[in-house]
Amino acid sequence: MSIAASGAKKPLFQRLYVQVLVAVALGIVVGWLSPEFAKNDWIKGLGDGFVKLIKMVIAPIIFCTVVSGIAHISDARKVGRVGVKALVYFEIVSTFALIIGLLVANIVQPGAGFSGKPDANAVAGFLKQAGEMKASDFVLNIIPDSVVGAFAKGDVLQVLLFAVLFGFSLMALGEKGHSVRRLVDDMAHAVFGVIAIIVKAAPIGAFGAMAFTIGRYGPQALGNLAGLIATFYLTAFLFVVVVLGIIARIAGFSIFKFIAYIKDELLIVLGTSSSESALPQLMEKLERLGCSKPVVGLVVPTGYSFNLDGTNIYMTLATLFIAQALNVPLSFNEQLIILGVAMLTSKGASGITGAGFITLAATLAAIRPELVPGMAIVLGIDKFMSECRALTNLTGNGVACVVVSWWEGELDRAKLTRGLNREIDPSDVQTAITTG
């Protein structure tokens, strides 16, 4: 029974997105008026703690969702078909994101006339990590040293690999694996129950993360390089509205209604600057929106490594910004090389803290090493850029899941319509658990 059907709509102050909005606003005020208090380790710990709580359940929920989805499929070829379709979609849309970043940077030229001098020492650590990234290491890292180790590290791709193999194994067992499948399904419901408890702390986490950010960098950090920040946010907005909007329209739904549907998750990401903080809730909501469980289980976790639209926009835009700021012209051929290199480096840094900044270091080192010291120019505002990257990544992965479900012929149009038209209340994960 849906909330709308029962007529018991939540008061505004009980809605998660309202609570998160208020918490973010309070965090900004506290960070601005009392920066010393906001830089306290305990304030920072509020945001970090919430993100850690969410990451704690990502591995088990991905395992349960993927295993359950695959184990209930009678045709193994379907899993491979969904995976191929997802990767084709990821590469096409990621290429669009990279191209848009290049086009905007060439037209707006946000780095032209920059007078600051970069400090090469400030980015030495990021450059070291970027130099250690190799394609072979990335592929081998998908294979865990042990199953327990994959869950302990919370590595999404490693857990995904084991879950796919385990799901195929259960599929092959047929009726013999029925009890295990039922256990996995029950575990998934239990883990979603844990998530329902954790998300109630989202406003506290958002307050701590925002207060610490403003307290540490100060409101002036937003003004120093406001042009680059504004250009990046505008570019990401245009990508979501135009590119993802056209894709959504082709698939038969409105991008604006979809954004409204996942607004709780977007606000959690805004407060924490981590798209992973909303991954479990996003997966659960997409299932309620009519996407099949196998598609959700395969597309969303994979998308967090292969479909980083916001990160792709950031890399090409920031690369040209730094080149313009340092007066280093890049030819058309070099910009084409940027596209290819960035496409690879964006995959190689998945799961690494500060992945967007590290992939930028890898891209610059591969193309024009003399641009690497220029990363110090954007280091101070990267925290503000990371929020937009995470928001774009989350939206892109949500749209990808709906599109692949539609492409596979497994999108429940009735559920999609009810969800996007707000005929059911999507604001609380617990609703689906207690009513379904």
| Per-residue pLDDT at 381 | 64
- Give the HSE-up count for residue 39: Cα atoms under 13 Å, Cβ half-sphere: 9
Q: Output the pLDDT for position 398.
A: 93
Is 273 a residue whose pLDDT tops 80? no
Task: Check pLDDT > 80 for residue 187.
Answer: yes
The yes-or-no verdict on residue 318 having pLDDT over 60 is yes
Q: Residue 332 CB: number of other CB atoms within 10 A?
A: 8
Report pLDDT digits (tens) over 219-264. 654 454 577 788 889 999 999 999 999 999 999 999 999 999 998 8
Q: Count the neighbouring beta carbons within 10 Å of the beta carbon of residue 33.
A: 11
Q: Which residue has the higher pLDDT, 117 or 411?
A: 411
User: pLDDT at position 135, please?
Assistant: 54
Q: What is the pLDDT of residue 7?
A: 41
The stretch 170-198 carries a mean pLDDT of 82
Helix, coil or strand: residue 389: helix
Residue type present at position 233 = Y
Neighbours of 281 (CB within 10 A): 25
User: Is pLDDT larger for residue 274 or for residue 159?
Assistant: 159
- Looking at per-residue confidence, does 170 or 126 come out higher? 170
Of residues 362 and 145, more confidence is placed in 145
In this structure, of 257-266, 270-279, 295-304, 398-407, the range with the lowest mean pLDDT score is 270-279
Give dist(CA 207, CA 202) in Å, integer: 9
C-beta separation of 231 from 104 below 8 A: yes
CA 120 to chain centre: 29
Burial class (CB in 10 A: 0-12, 13-18, 19+), 29: middle
> DSSP assignment of 6-33, as one string?
HT-PPPGGGSHHHHHHHHHHHHHHHHHH
- Among positive and negative, which fits the CA dihedral 401, 403, 408, 414? positive
More confident site: 120 or 87: 87
- Within 252-308, residue ranges assigned H as helices are 255-261, 263-272, 279-288, 293-306
Q: Cα-flanking dihedrals φ and ψ of residue 424, to 5°?
A: -125, 155
Residue pair 313/232 in contact (Cβ under 8 Å)? The answer is yes
* pLDDT tens, residue by residue, 304-313: 777 888 888 8
> Does residue 313 contact residue 93 with C-beta atoms inside 8 Å?
no
pLDDT, greater one: 119 or 67? 67
User: What gap in Å lies between CA 292 and CA 411, rounded to an integer?
Assistant: 7
More confident residue, 251 or 351: 251
Residue range 104-149, pLDDT digits in tens: 988 988 877 665 455 445 445 545 554 555 556 656 777 888 888 8
Domain 3-435 maps to which CATH number in 1.10.150.120, 3.40.50.2300, 3.40.50.170, 1.10.3860.10? 1.10.3860.10
Query: Looking at residues 355-379, what average pLDDT do you find?
Result: 67
**What's the token pair of residue 405?**
């479900």
pLDDT at residue 348 in the model: 45
* Residue 350 clears pLDDT 50, i.e. is over it: no
Lowest-confidence segment of 91-95, 162-166, 269-273, 348-352 by average pLDDT: 348-352
Per-residue pLDDT band at 359 (split at 50, 70, 90): low
The burial of 179, by beta-carbon neighbours within 10 Å (0-12 exposed, 13-18 middle, 19 or more buried), is given as exposed
Percent pLDDT > 90 in the chain is 13
Q: Which residue has the higher pLDDT, 39 or 130?
A: 39
Helices then strands, counting H and E runs in the chain, come out as 25, 0
Which CA distances in Å does 436 have to 176, 264, 420? 27, 20, 19
Task: Write out pLDDT tens, residues 198-216.
Answer: 878 888 888 887 788 778 7
Spans of all domains in the chain:
3-435
Q: Measure Cα distances from 219 to 216, 305, 327, 344 in Å.
A: 9, 32, 28, 35
Mean pLDDT across the chain: 77
CB 226 within 8 A of CB 378: no
Distances (CA, A) of 285 to 265, 296, 325, 347: 10, 10, 43, 26
411 three-class SS: strand
* Token pair 């996995």: residue: 184
**Token pair in block for residue 334:** 């070099």
More confident residue, 423 or 60: 60
The values of phi and psi at residue 73, to 5°, are -95, 135
**Helix axes of 309-325 and 355-367: crossing angle, nearest 10 degrees:** 50
Band of the pLDDT at 72, cuts 50, 70, 90?
low
Q: Residue 435 pLDDT > 50, yes or no?
A: no
Which has more pLDDT, 2 or 21?
21
The answer to whether the CB of 364 falls within 8 A of the CB of 322 is: yes
Q: 291 forms bridges with which residues in the sheet?
A: 411
Does the pLDDT of residue 323 top 90, yes or no?
Answer: no
Within 14-123, residue ranges assigned H as helices are 16-33, 35-38, 41-71, 76-108
Token digits of residue 267:
């606000």
- What pLDDT score does 218 carry? 67
